[in-house]
Structure 1
Amino acid sequence: MDINIDGNSRDHMAGSMIDRKLYQCVRQHNIDEYFKTLVQRPLAEKLVTPCGNTLLHLAASYGTDEVIAYLTEEFPSLITTTNSQQDTVLHLAAREGMACTAIKDLVKSEPSLTRKTNTKGNTPLHDAVIKGNKEFAVFLASKDPVVAYYNNKNGRSPLYLAVENGNKNGILDDLLKSIKREDGDAPPKGKSPVHAAIEQRDIGILKKIGEAMPELLRLTDEEMGNSLHYASSIGFLEGVQFLLDKFHNGAYGRNPEGNYPIHLACKSHSVRVVKEYLKEFPYPKEFLNKKGQNILHVAAESGKGNVISYILKQDAKLVEPLLNEMDEDGNTPLHLAAGYGKSVAAFVLVRDKRVDSSAVNNENLTPYDLAEQQSKSAEEKFDKANEMDGQHHSKDVEYGLKNSTAENSTDSTSSQRKDKAFDLKRDTKKSSPKHEGLINYFGMVTTLSILYIYSRPKKSLSWHFTVTPGLIISQAKEESKNRIGNLLVVAVLVAGVTFAGAVQLPQLRDNNYSSEHHPESNSTITASRYSSYENHLFQRSWFSWLLS
């Protein structure tokens, strides 16, 4: 909510500069004949500092009552004049911590000043809160309470900033007392102060807001949904418990993506938050997002194996309606874990005997089929990213190694196939496409390995040990030997890859998380952090054999 009031803004450099003598007079609260001589019409209205502050701006910043009173009476046009940053005299008074009598009288005589915004979209109340100017902030809020909800260009209101600043100087407490809203008032828009308290995981401030202005608990953020959505998404247990008590209906609201708070709880790593929801709502099958997905769907898609394990241990009447349900695309939770390369989630689900691993989705694909399809796609994407990375490297470094194009050429046809089942989205802003492809590749190869063991269409043991009719004895022995060898290779390699995936993937996740906080380290990430070159070649050969 950006409200601006037209003022007498001007080209400040066209005015005359305020000299040292006038500065001293303002600073010393000195209004004598000498000062009045220096300040003559029409010169006074054009006198400015390099950044466009008028004499009244200076007087406001120094809190000189006498000078402010004299200038506002003699030169009223200065009251609404702004500097180069569109600051009024109230902005400077708010930032400098000056709440002198003359300034307060100015607010009373010119109330529109409280809503005037500068180039940052801040009102004087914004600046007072940011600077911790408690006295002036409370005064402004008492004179024009609605301004406490005005959003600056960053979408932050003074009330939000008071929470974000951790109730600096107790400003939040006083604001909550000063800005009581009347029944029927339209709810404020923009970033909710409740969301700010949740972001800081400050249950104390959250309770203060709930006690003083419980209606704020119901505010909805355009991106994050209501307060329960946000608290659930970050796994803030105390916040969820408090909000379920004070804002119970929030659990029945969907966020912009179509998810209920219980879905977001299952996307987080907090089993305790999920437990809280299941205790309050022991009928999770009733909560379907706009894609028709239940809580197991979203947990599987997000790869939250710990959450899935907890849900599967609950009462059978609660769990069984979730296990094999299909979303609007016909995907079961196992389909989603398989298609998104969530190996731990796939492992937990596929080992549960109640899960139907042979179910087909709308594309007539089983979870194994989908994992196989997505694995090929992941390999193609990694090959392409690797080739592009090699081309870039060769341009920058003359002696750079050239990437082999043998595998890429053989897969050129399959790389053009469109993947209709999934569009795996990756945030490539944090790392290079090559490293993103490597992460995706490891996830898919581990998931496919798990499903290969547990849900691949089985061949009978007689197939493995029966010799093809018509072969001579020596050839029959060789064929049997190869099949037995293959079985041993599968047993050893799958176990190794599964273990490596369980260890490496969480590390990759942690590396990505830390890179969000240290973006400058992204440029130094190399493939050696994930695996050695030799180990990578070994896994690639195993993966190619698995897909054959």
Structure 2
Amino acid sequence: MDENIESHSLSILLHFLSPSSTWLSMHCSEARLDTIEAQRSTDMSHDQRRQRSFLMKMINKGACMISSRGLPQGPQLMEDTETVPKFLTNLKLSDLNNRPGEDVLMNPEIFSAMRGGNIDFLKKMKTNETTPMACLKNNKGDSILHIASSWGHLELVKGIISECPSLLLEKNSKYQLPLHVAAGAGYSAIVKVLVESLTYFSAGLHEEDKANLNLYVMKDINGDTALHLALKDLHKKTEVRMYHNRIRLLIFMTHLMNKKVIISSPDTSIRQMELAAYLVKANQQASFLENKDGVSPLYMAVEAGNVSLVNAMLNLPGNNVQGKTFDLASILEGRKSLVHAALKAKNTDVLDVILNKYPSLVNERDEERRTCLSVGASVGFYKGIYKLLVLSTPPNVYECDGDDNDGSFAIHMAVEKGHMDIVKELLKRCPDAIYLLNEQGQNILHIAAKRGKAESFLLGYVRKLDTKNHLIEEQDVDGNTPLHLATIHWRPRRMDASKKHYA
């Protein structure tokens, strides 16, 4: 009994300590007075008032074409009307075009009500015949649907869509749709409602017309889709979460030493991953689109180390055909160095998924022209290096980094960072790699002497392979031997060890 109470208390404590707490992030990021934001006296510019999204124009054109074809425009769009959400049952396709007029700056009372999730106020707004609520915008171009979505007010969102479905297509000053806003805020329930709405309206359309309602590929001012925003900074949050979890475990370790208590820590990152998976299921194409930083949601998912999400993104129709693999390079925008990202994340499961589906990616180089082996050796990911060596031994071992990376090889990077287990594995498979030189004419002993990362065992291990002392006596382009560099960088212990091993 006491153990159960203790476990429940610890779970509650961990929830509020969680670095990814939704409550904490929401209140920290939105700690502004409503009246300051809503009561700005500056009128909306002429351009902003006249702004219409390109998507709205396409929908207007598409709706006319659909109407002329005699296609159904009401609830019949969905084959099974029993599955239509209640808030959508009275809507028809033409309602998407029902944009009653120019933008009107909303007053502080409306803004506060929307932020507060006041659904009764929405009913009051319906009776206002002077200003249609679909025209209301704040100074950032947010509609009432943007505001309700950003604050996670589910019932209010449903009510707004039921009254003003055209707001599904409205963009704010950042070119973000309500779908962007909800995904970025991490509100999965809101995203599902928005997706349901889009699915309802597009269900009976021809493929060419469905493209006009594909909001999943629409990009904001930074080139981000809704899927990008759902995954934004997730890999960083994952690292922070892992660090905080270790701290918490240390705090409670003594207390829990002799008790069978399970600590459960609610994790916002898990919820974000579920949200992202839902968006991938709705539209897989968005997984491969780059933003202005040249990063795709697929690349972000690999960085975050989520194997199920990466699997879902890579589960392309062409891959289901026996003996055929879809050409990922033809559709993936931006950074294509997925193996490099998996190595940096030190995630063997994600690495397996990528290499099993697209083994040729082992030969890709990143934006700095570094090889996969070089990156894996640099971060010290032994398991990843082992897998790469199984696939690419020996060619990639003898490929150096390009551009501004001084022509270093994977073994040089491992020595520089002090990852001796990787050095041994590389030499075990490719003994001749011990003689590789970078552009400065330096071998692994030069680098060890310069960086001071090598342990004494490296010198002994090298001597077994280099029986004629070529490495210790070899000069770089400046005429320096490893002993010279050890002296220059004042590493007396390295000097003594070198003299002892090569005496």
| Interval containing the TM-score (normalised by the shorter chain) | 0.5 to 0.7
SS in 2 for 1:225: coil
Structure 2 unaligned blocks of 5 or more: 1-50, 55-101, 203-209, 235-268, 320-325
Amino acid at match of 2:463: K
Q: Counterpart in 1 of 2:399?
A: 253
Q: Which residue of 1 aligns with 2:7?
A: none
Q: Which residue of 1 aligns with 2:493?
A: 344
Is it true that 1:68 corresponds to 2:214 in the alignment?
Answer: no
Does the CA-based 8 Å contact 1:26-1:67 persist in structure 2? no
Write the distance in 1 (CA, Å) between the matches of 2:112 and 2:450: 70
How do residues 222-237 of structure 1 correspond to structure 2 at under 5 angstroms?
222-223=367-368, 225-237=370-382
Residue 54 of structure 1 and its aligned partner are, at CA, apart by 0.5
* Correspondence for 2:354 among 187, 209, 217: 209
SS of 2:298's equivalent?
helix
What does residue 327 of structure 2 align with? 182
Q: For 1:342 and 1:186, locate their aligned partners in 2 and report how far apart those are by CA, in whole Å.
A: 51
Distance 1:247 1:187 in 2: 23
> Kindly tell me: are residues 106 and 304 of structure 1, through their superposed partners in 2, closer, same or farther at Cα, counting changes over 3 Å?
farther
Corresponding residue of 2:299: 160
Which residue in 2 is equivalent to 1:96? Answer: 187
- Whose radius of gyration is greater, 1 or 2? 1
Per the alignment, in what secondary structure is the counterpart of residue 283 of structure 1? helix
Q: Indicate conservation of the 8 Å contact 1:80/1:88, yes or no.
A: yes
Asked whether the 8 Å contact 1:65–1:102 carries over to 2, the reply is no
Structure 1 alignment gaps of length 5 or more: 1-5, 355-548
**Of residues 137, 142, 159 in structure 2, which corresponds to 1:48?**
137
2:366 partner amino acid: D
Equivalent position SS for 1:19: helix
**C-alpha displacement at 1:281, in angstroms?**
0.9
> Where do 1:73-84 residues align within 5 Å?
75=166, 79-83=169-173
1:315 alignment counterpart: 465
Q: Tell me if the contact between 2:287 and 2:297 (Cα under 8 Å) persists in the aligned partners.
A: yes
Alignment match, 1:126: 228
Query: How far has the Cα of 1:260 moved from its partner?
Result: 0.9
Q: Is 2:451 the partner of 1:302?
A: yes
Amino acid aligned to 2:169: I
Shift of 1:96: 1.7
- Give how far 1:162 is off: 2.5
Q: Is the 8 A contact 1:156 1:190 kept in 2?
A: yes
Q: Corresponding residue for 1:172? A: 310
Q: Is the 8 A contact 2:469 2:502 kept in 1?
A: no
* Structure 2 CA distance for partners of 1:240 and 1:310, relative to 1, 3 Å: farther
| 1:53 counterpart SS class | coil
1:399-421: CA deviation from partner (whole Å, max 9, x where unpaired): xxxxxxxxxxxxxxxxxxxxxxx
Within 2, Cα distance between the matches of 1:24 and 1:302? 56
The 3-state SS of whatever aligns with 1:329 is: coil
Separation of aligned partners in 2, 1:202 and 1:276: 19
Aligned-residue CA RMSD (Å): 4.1
Query: For the Cα contact (< 8 Å) 2:119–2:159, is it kept in 1?
Result: no
> In structure 2, how many angstroms separate the alpha carbons of the residues matched to 1:213 and 1:261?
22
- The structural deviation recorded for 1:299 is 2.0
* Mapping for residues 193-204 of structure 1, pairs under 5 Å: 193-204=338-349
On the 8 A contact 1:80/1:113 being kept in 2, the answer is no
CA deviation profile, 1:366-418 (whole Å, cap 9, x unmatched): xxxxxxxxxxxxxxxxxxxxxxxxxxxxxxxxxxxxxxxxxxxxxxxxxxxxx
Q: For the structure 1 residues 46 and 175, does the alpha-carbon distance in structure 2 shift closer, same or farther, using more than 3 Å as the test?
A: same
1:475-518 deviation per Cα after TM superposition (whole angstroms, max 9, x unaligned): xxxxxxxxxxxxxxxxxxxxxxxxxxxxxxxxxxxxxxxxxxxx
SS at 2:164 equivalent: helix
Could you tell me how far 1:314 is from its partner in structure 2? 1.7
User: SS of the residue aligned with 1:233?
Assistant: helix
Q: What is the SS of the residue equivalent to 2:230?
A: helix
1:282 correspondence with 2:421: no
Query: What residue identity is the alignment partner of 1:176?
Result: L
CA distance in 2, matches of 1:320, 1:188: 49
5 Å matches for 1:471-510?
none
Q: Deviations over 1:199-251 (max 9, x none)?
A: 34332332233234434444433348233112111322111111111344432
1:46-97 deviation line (CA, Å, top 9, x unaligned): 412465420332565555456436534xx47x614224x5422221232321
- 1:263 Cα offset (Å): 1.0
Is the deviation greater in 274-283 or in 221-230?
221-230
Q: 1:285 to 1:12 in 2, by over 3 A?
A: farther
Percent of pairs identical after alignment? 27
SS in 1 for 2:480: coil
- TM-score for both structures, normalised by structure 2: 0.56
Partner of 1:137: 276
Give distance in 2, aligned partners of 1:250 and 1:36.
67
2:419 aligns with one of 244, 255, 270: 270
Count residues in correspondence.
Answer: 340
User: C-alpha separation between the residues in 1 aligned to 2:357 and 2:409?
Assistant: 27
Letter in 1 for 2:230: A
Q: 1-side partners of 2:134 and 2:438: how far apart?
A: 62
Counterparts in 2 of 1:109 and 1:315: CA distance versus 1, 3 Å: closer
Partner of 1:199: helix, strand, or coil?
helix
Closer, same or farther: CA 146–229 of 1 in aligned 2, 3 Å:
farther
Shift of 1:126: 1.6
Give the letter aligned to residue 187 of structure 2.
E
User: Does the CA-based 8 Å contact 1:187-1:219 persist in structure 2?
Assistant: no
| Change in 2 beyond 3 A, CA 1:103/1:252 | farther
Q: Secondary structure at the match of 1:185?
A: helix
Equivalent residue letter for 1:103: L
Question: Which residue in 1 is equivalent to 2:250?
Answer: none
Residues 300 and 337, structure 1, Cα contact 8 Å, conserved in 2: yes
> Contact (CA 8 Å) 2:414, 2:423: kept in 1 or not?
yes
Counterpart of 2:30? none
1:57 maps to 2:152: no
1:244 paired residue number: 389
2-structure distance, mates of 1:273, 1:260: 13
